[in-house]
Chains A and B, each alone.
Chain A
Amino acid sequence: MALATSGSAADAPAVLSAPARARRFRGPRRGAGGPDRWSGGSAGQRLMQHLTPWLFLSAAVGLLLLFTYWPAVNLFYFSVTDWDGIDLTKNFVGLDNYVKVFTDPRIFSVFGVSLYYFIATFAQMAIALYFATILSFSTKFQNLFRGILFFPYLINGVAIGFVFLYLFQPGGTLDTVLSWVGVTDPPKWLGDPNIVNWSLAGTSVWRYTGLNFVLFLGAIQSIPRELYEAAELDGASRFQQFWALIFPGIRRIIGLSFILAVAGALSVFEIPFIMTGGANGSATFVIQTLQTAFAFRQVGLASAMAVVLLMIVLIVTVIQRRVFPDDKVDLT
């Protein structure tokens, strides 16, 4: 049984042209220049040769500076002003906005909502790990199931929001399905303040499990085949193989997923924003930042909130790197 669908030369796609096929199977063509083709030439060519890597780099780095670092610098600048988002003058107010972020209890209390998403990430990783393990062994309709599991991640977040909005409606899809199994009095999935965040977190799990799944699957398949064979010869069960081989083998990718999940839980945005607009106690920190900037016209304060969130995510990541050091995995 092949480990992966890609990479094995035997089932190369039929669309390759005949010469390409020839190159692929007979190695590089000879006599077309060889490795020392570039070493000669005039001074201009040499200059080009030196400049080429920089030219390639400049496009990518230029875009990075323009669209990531320059806005970030602007954000820091706004965060020390009292700008309302429109006025042509921005007054410098020093650290006032930061003081307000840390002293106004209303700003920080919304981090409680992130806890729901944080807890949900455990379910998300468990489901992803379970299916990644099962589907890395020989299973019926293996590729179909892989596709099904990854599919939600490919759907646009806005579309998912709307789909689940209908699902959670009173008398909607979910209630209908539950009525088949005898649940006659379902709760209001979005209207009940005790349930709304679980509903939203559940939607988030549905959406991101596919991503975790693919990461885990890839990692599991990088474990050498012989180890499984050896384990099977030793009479290890599937579960023992999981604990002794797979789990330690993909520890690093689990650690990475965990960091992404925590950062994601802190900065949840589109699902609650689309489905409830942050109403009914489902506002997250990012939604609140957005409201501060555009509903209350306090772009300065909102920028400070964004900077603080960035710092928190950085700190969480650093702590996690300490707790889960980036050690080499050794399976031998």
Chain B
Amino acid sequence: MARKAIGALALITVAGLALAGCSGGGGGAGDADNTIDGEVKGDIKVMTWRTDLIADGTFDKYAEEFTAKYPDVNVTFEGITDYAGEMQTRMSTTNYGDVLGIPTISPDQYDQFLEPLGKTADFEDTYRFLPASSYEGTQYGVAFGGNANGVVYNKKVFEEAGVTEVPKTEDEWLAALELIKDNTDAIPLYTNYKDGWPLTQSFGNLGVVTDDPDAPITMAENKAPWTEGTDVYAIDSLLYDSVAAGLTEEDPLTTNWEQSKVDLATGKIAAMTLGSWAISQMQAAAEDNGASADDIGYMAFPATVDGKQLAVVGGDYNLAVSKHSEAKAAAWAWIKWVVEESGYTEAQGMISPVLSKPLPDNLAGFTDAGVELMEINPAPAGKESLLADTANDSQIDLYGPLYRQKLVDIARGAADGDKDSYFAELNERWGAAVDQLAG
């Protein structure tokens, strides 16, 4: 009997030790000298979603240039293909690199994971795109680059179809797509339904339909945002009406993102609603496949307010310093260097987060067409995460593909209901969440 007890005890001890091994760790992160203003030295690991730039050596070149300036720093990179998904899990550990792009955590949680970089007010003279990573007047990150939102399209297909002017309203949009369908072999609008995330891109246009720089808060406080005249109504209607009119790919369940780039570049697809970051990828696809980069055009979301067209510009992932970093000063130095001096945004055709830098060439078409760029205002204090919380509570994934896939399903007759009934359902769910959260 005693022997059995000893055995059992040994077993529990072993298990306990194994479990204890999981917690603990850390050390050095709480050091008083370890601040972002400290001495720039140590090892930093940079987490990145741009695995392609690791593979082609661009980041190694950056690291070389950076260490030429700060010789006491050693930079390593960790590329993650499913960055958004994997980083969310990584955030529950203390090991998520020294420099990271802020994954989707809500602003009121920033101080649990990220090192504060200073007062937002002190950044406003130098940087764009600050609201996304600011909470209660404190800045936690700086955008790596910025994008405009709109529609990437193939100019040649539009010309061939006889569309002379880029559409500026939804009616013009549908008419143009109809012409493409009738006069060419191209798929007028490609949804990329199967891959999902491209469906979410048009949500970036929130604000352009009503010229409302506070659109996210307006939506978070509206009990029925899917009502004619709002931003989200126009954005989702454009998708619904295009699909319902048969102007999208035949079988959305078998779409393929990588292939779609080639197809757009070679004129098999006429348009996709994507951020301006996509332009350089489409141009590259065009040149790799015997077409011209000049065929790729970019237009604003087809909506006009008071006679003018608008395009939202916003930051890509925001770079931040991990609270658990052991070389915070070096991490912060890297962020400032990579954003201001590396030439990343110029090479990628993105908008630099540094105010003094010019807009990229690929948005020249925007300026010619008289499109005005707008930035979304920071959310008022205490409401930074209101839109995200309402989306989560109502289970309407504004930042994900699920509810839009359902929208496409209804539009193509593969699910019950119609536009009105689905928008009514969305309003009901959203309204219930607004009642709870916005009061």
A and B from one assembly? yes
Which residues of A are interface residues toward B (Cβ below 8 A)? 50-51, 54, 57-58, 61-62, 65-66, 70, 84-88, 106, 165, 168-170, 172, 188, 190-193, 196, 276-281, 291-292, 294-298
Interface residues on B, range: 35 or more
Residue of A nearest to B196 (CB): A277
* C-alpha gap A172/B253 in the complex (Å): 13
Residue of A nearest to B85 (CB): A294
- In the complex, are the beta carbons of A196 and B10 less than 8 A apart? no
Known: A66-B19, A279-B193. A196 touches B253 (CB 8 A): yes
Most A CB atoms within 10 A — which of B7, B14, B109, B401? Answer: B14
Known: A279-B253, A280-B414. A61 touches B402 (CB 8 A): no
- In the complex, are the beta carbons of A193 and B10 less than 8 A apart? no
- In the complex, are the beta carbons of A193 and B414 less than 8 A apart? yes
* C-alpha gap A84/B91 in the complex (Å): 12
**Pairs A–B under 8 Å by Cβ, sample size 29:** A50-B3, A54-B7, A58-B15, A61-B11, A61-B15, A62-B14, A66-B15, A84-B106, A85-B89, A86-B92, A86-B105, A168-B254, A190-B253, A191-B250, A191-B251, A191-B252, A191-B414, A192-B414, A193-B409, A277-B196, A277-B401, A279-B196, A279-B253, A279-B401, A279-B405, A280-B253, A295-B397, A296-B397, A297-B104
Q: Is B53 an interface residue (CB 8 A)?
A: no
**Shortest beta-carbon distance from B156 to chain A in Å:** 25
* C-alpha gap A192/B412 in the complex (Å): 10
- In the complex, are the beta carbons of A170 and B415 less than 8 A apart? no
Task: List 17 additional A-B contacts (Cβ < 8 Å) besides A106-B395, A291-B397, A296-B392.
Answer: A57-B7, A57-B11, A62-B14, A62-B15, A66-B18, A85-B88, A86-B105, A86-B109, A87-B112, A170-B250, A172-B254, A188-B253, A193-B409, A193-B415, A279-B193, A291-B402, A294-B85
Interfacial chain B residues near A62, Cβ < 8 Å: 11, 14-15, 18
Known: A61-B15, A191-B414, A291-B402. A169 touches B193 (CB 8 A): no
**Shortest beta-carbon distance from B148 to chain A in Å:** 26
Interfacial chain A residues near B14, Cβ < 8 Å: 58, 62
* C-alpha gap A181/B395 in the complex (Å): 46
- Contact partner of B112 (CB less than 8 A), chosen from A61, A88, A297, is A88
* C-alpha gap A165/B256 in the complex (Å): 11
**Shortest beta-carbon distance from A193 to chain B in Å:** 4
User: Which residues of chain B from 85 to 101 have any CB-CB distance to chain A below 8 Å in the complex?
Assistant: 85, 88-89, 91-92
Interfacial chain A residues near B194, Cβ < 8 Å: 276-277, 279
**Shortest beta-carbon distance from A92 to chain B in Å:** 18
Chain A binding surface SS class? loop
- In the complex, are the beta carbons of B253 and A86 less than 8 A apart? no
**Shortest beta-carbon distance from A97 to chain B in Å:** 13
Which residues of B are interface residues toward A (Cβ below 8 A)? 3, 7, 10-11, 14-15, 18-19, 85, 88-89, 91-92, 104-106, 109, 112-113, 193-194, 196, 250-254, 391-392, 395, 397, 400-402, 405, 409, 414-415
Residue of B nearest to A70 (CB): B19
Interfacial chain B residues near A66, Cβ < 8 Å: 15, 18-19
Known: A276-B194, A281-B415. A58 touches B254 (CB 8 A): no
* C-alpha gap A294/B84 in the complex (Å): 10
**Shortest beta-carbon distance from A84 to chain B in Å:** 8
Interfacial chain A residues near B91, Cβ < 8 Å: 86
**Shortest beta-carbon distance from B393 to chain A in Å:** 8
Interfacial chain B residues near A190, Cβ < 8 Å: 251, 253-254
**Shortest beta-carbon distance from B23 to chain A in Å:** 12
Chain B binding surface SS class? helix
Known: A66-B15, A170-B251, A294-B85. A280 touches B7 (CB 8 A): no
Interfacial chain A residues near B397, Cβ < 8 Å: 291, 295-296
- In the complex, are the beta carbons of B196 and A169 less than 8 A apart? no
Most B CB atoms within 10 A — which of A51, A196, A277? Answer: A277
* C-alpha gap A85/B93 in the complex (Å): 11
* C-alpha gap A278/B397 in the complex (Å): 14
* C-alpha gap A280/B408 in the complex (Å): 9
* C-alpha gap A280/B193 in the complex (Å): 10
Interfacial chain B residues near A88, Cβ < 8 Å: 109, 112
Most B CB atoms within 10 A — which of A51, A88, A279, A292? Answer: A279
Interfacial chain A residues near B250, Cβ < 8 Å: 170, 188, 191
- In the complex, are the beta carbons of B92 and A280 less than 8 A apart? no
Most A CB atoms within 10 A — which of B18, B89, B400? Answer: B18
**Shortest beta-carbon distance from B152 to chain A in Å:** 23
Most B CB atoms within 10 A — which of A57, A66, A86? Answer: A86
**Shortest beta-carbon distance from A287 to chain B in Å:** 10
Interfacial chain A residues near B15, Cβ < 8 Å: 58, 61-62, 65-66
**Shortest beta-carbon distance from A319 to chain B in Å:** 32
Interfacial chain A residues near B251, Cβ < 8 Å: 169-170, 188, 190-191
* C-alpha gap A193/B412 in the complex (Å): 10
Most A CB atoms within 10 A — which of B11, B19, B252? Answer: B11
**Shortest beta-carbon distance from A169 to chain B in Å:** 5
Interfacial chain B residues near A168, Cβ < 8 Å: 254
Known: A279-B253, A280-B253. A294 touches B402 (CB 8 A): no
* C-alpha gap A66/B415 in the complex (Å): 44
Interfacial chain A residues near B92, Cβ < 8 Å: 85-86
- In the complex, are the beta carbons of B88 and A86 less than 8 A apart? yes
Residue of A nearest to B399 (CB): A295
- In the complex, are the beta carbons of A191 and B254 less than 8 A apart? yes
* C-alpha gap A292/B394 in the complex (Å): 11
Residue of A nearest to B254 (CB): A169
Residue of B nearest to A276 (CB): B253
Interfacial chain B residues near A172, Cβ < 8 Å: 254
- In the complex, are the beta carbons of B11 and A54 less than 8 A apart? yes
* C-alpha gap A280/B243 in the complex (Å): 14
